[in-house]
Amino acid sequence: MKGQSSVPQAGIESTLGDARLQLAIYTATGRLIDHRKKAVSEEALPDYQELRRIAHELKRHTIENLDYYLAQVERKVAERGGKVVYCEDGAEVSRFVLELARARGERLVVKSKSMTTEEIHLNEALESGQVEAVETDLGEYLLQLAHERPYHIVAPALHKTRYDVADILTGSLGVERETEPEKQTKIARGVLREKFLEAGIGITGANFVVAGSGAVVVVENEGNARLSSSAPRIHIAVAGIEKLIPRARDLAVFLKLLGRSATGQALSVYTSFLAGARREGEADGPEEFYLVLLDNGRSKLLADRDKRESLYCIRCGACLNHCPVYRKIGGHNYPWIYSGPIGAIITPQFHGVEQDPWLPFASSLCGACAEVCPVKIDIPKVLLKLRAEVTASGARGGTERRVFRVWAWVMAHPWWYGVLGKMAAALSPRPAGGGWVNKLPGWMAVGPLGSWLKERDLPPPAEQSFRSQWERRRRGA
């Protein structure tokens, strides 16, 4: 995705103006909020806060010693008959997959949902190398057919209605139009089942990489990740280098938090712990296993001690659901595939703050994200740091800075403050009957103030300023 130096006004306005879409985002996120709330309640999970604290500590420990754990996982995966492949960026990942496919004579790849592979546009790269890559998560499959990117980390096709889905399926597969989700799912199942059995390579993401076990952990509800990792001859797991956790026992902490925070499930339907290729005596499973560890900007981010915690994210999506901005503007108005609060803090760090300087400001700093984050990332703090960086880089217009400089001067000079206050009170429109301002006189309704008031109203200022009222009282008037 190309960055935008200013707010994507048109996209946001069209999202805000689309009543159906607004309702879809609102209900879907609302439902996820409710489910999470029940699942982490005192009754359901009494040690929730303690688990969050431990999860944060575990992530911090792993990230602070990341080189150690990377070396460990590399060794362990090799012991389990697999191979770790380091990749700098998306181009290296696709080159690796294409070379392997060519060497083994494979032409079809089945993929299960993975934000990391979305991040590097793996599908497109494979297609251009003459290898067919099929998304197998239902939502992702529909989006692949529609050529769109995910709308939400956890619920990728949140913005599609069943009628959209009917159009997509008839348009791309030529099947009869079907508007029942149950039947639509069956159609997709049939098509994808064939692909699973035919494909030579399965690519999955990894929710966690267990350094001490040389294993990847993949969490899902549909069974497509199980199929992708079990049916084809070759399994490739693609994970960012930050996905490591020390030991298998730490899953007791992370799995308890992930499903609950994401969808309110105590455990998702399938959690696969996959350590290497099929062993001697096992009846099935892949003959070859590769773990691709991707940097793609992560090591750069690691260098910043203040914002390093952004790498603790386990991609549960809770911060999106609870974000008043995400809930209005939806997923596609964010410049990158990671949307919502987590997108707002990692996109500028991956792409540089100059790329989308507006993004760290697209937040009311209400703090809901930090409150629900299962690994306790202080998202508002990181946003503030990023805002400071944007301002220092000069990527945002100087108007704001000038306004605040004037404001600071006025605040420091009480006599001027008093005079200006009186002037503002005298000049302000004062509707008859004490109603709201409604409309500013034309000369005031310009620039940011004008657009701010387009959607909002103000009560008229009091006849007398607070300071003069206070003065009068003091004199006993």
Partner 1 sequence: MREGARERILGRVRTALGRMPGEGAPEPPAYELVVRGPGPGPERVRLFVERFEALAGKAHMVGSAAEAGAKAREIVAGRSVVAVEHEVVRAAGVMEWDGDVRHGFATGEELRRACAECAVGITSTSYALADTGTLVAMAGPGEPRLASLLPPVHIALVPEAVILAGIEELLLRVPEPDEGTSSMVFITGPSRTADIEQILVRGVHGPGEIHAIVIV
14 binds, among ligand SF4, partner 1, none (CB under 5 to 8 A by kind): none
Residues of span 3-62 touching partner 1 by CB under 8 A: 24, 27-28, 31, 47, 54, 57-58, 61-62
319 binds, among partner 1, ligand SF4, none (CB under 5 to 8 A by kind): ligand SF4
State whether residue 308 is helix, strand or coil: helix
Neighbours of 185 (CB within 10 A): 14
Residues of span 271-290 touching partner 1 by CB under 8 A: 271-279, 281-285, 289
Residues of span 249-288 touching ligand SF4 by CB under 6 A: 261
Among 266, 388, 426, 462, binds partner 1 (CB under 8 A): 266
355 binds, among partner 1, ligand SF4, none (CB under 5 to 8 A by kind): none
Residues of span 151-170 touching partner 1 by CB under 8 A: 155-158, 160-162, 165
Query: Which helix (H) or strand (E) covers residue 201, if one does?
Result: strand 201-204
Residues of span 336-355 touching ligand SF4 by CB under 6 A: 342
- Mode of pairing for the β-strands spanning 83-87 and 288-294: parallel
* CB 437, min distance to ligand SF4, A: 39
Question: How far is residue 403's CA from residue 126's CA, in Å, rounded to a whole number?
Answer: 51
Q: Could you give the angle at which helices 9-17 and 19-39 cross, rounded to 10 degrees?
A: 80
Kindly tell me which of 28 and 166 has the beta carbon lying closer to ligand SF4. Answer: 28
Residues of span 172-211 touching partner 1 by CB under 8 A: 181-182, 184-185, 188-189, 192-193, 196-197, 210
Question: How far is residue 355's CA from residue 257's CA, in Å, rounded to a whole number?
Answer: 33
Does residue 241 touch partner 1 according to CB under 8 A?
A: yes
Q: 27 — phi, psi (to 5°)?
A: -70, -45
Does residue 253 touch partner 1 according to CB under 8 A?
A: yes
Question: How far is residue 63's CA from residue 293's CA, in Å, rounded to a whole number?
Answer: 14
At 288, list the tokens.
């070859």
54 binds, among ligand SF4, partner 1, none (CB under 5 to 8 A by kind): partner 1
* CB 50, min distance to ligand SF4, A: 17
DSSP string computed for 211-273? TTTTEEEEEESSSHHHHHHHSSSEEEEEEEGGGEES-GGGHHHHHHHHHHHHHS-SS-SEEEE
Neighbours of 139 (CB within 10 A): 21
β-bridge mates for residue 204, sequence order: 237
Residues of span 298-327 touching partner 1 by CB under 8 A: 299-300, 302-303
Closest C-alpha among 254, 259, 283 to residue 269: 259
Residues 6+ apart with CB under 8 A from 81: 276, 277, 279, 289
Among 138, 245, 313, 329, binds ligand SF4 (CB under 6 A): 313
Residues of span 424-463 touching partner 1 by CB under 8 A: none
Among 377, 382, 383, 437, binds ligand SF4 (CB under 6 A): 377
Does residue 391 touch partner 1 according to CB under 8 A?
A: no
Residues of span 60-119 touching partner 1 by CB under 8 A: 61-62, 64-71, 76, 80-81, 85-88, 92, 95-96
270 binds, among partner 1, ligand SF4, none (CB under 5 to 8 A by kind): partner 1
* CB 393, min distance to partner 1, A: 21
Residues 6+ apart with CB under 8 A from 210: 73, 216, 217, 244, 245, 246, 247, 248, 250, 251, 273
Does residue 297 touch partner 1 according to CB under 8 A?
A: no
Does residue 374 touch ligand SF4 according to CB under 6 A?
A: yes
- Quick check: 122 and 133 in contact, CB under 8 A? yes
Kindly tell me which of 49 and 393 has the beta carbon lying closer to ligand SF4. Answer: 49
Question: How far is residue 144's CA from residue 121's CA, in Å, rounded to a whole number?
Answer: 11
Does residue 339 touch partner 1 according to CB under 8 A?
A: no
Kindly tell me which of 184 and 321 has the beta carbon lying closer to ligand SF4. Answer: 321
* CB 396, min distance to partner 1, A: 27
Q: 238 — phi, psi (to 5°)?
A: -110, 125
Length of the chain: 477
* CB 438, min distance to partner 1, A: 40
Positions touching ligand SF4 (CB under 6 A) are 261, 313-319, 342, 372-375, 377
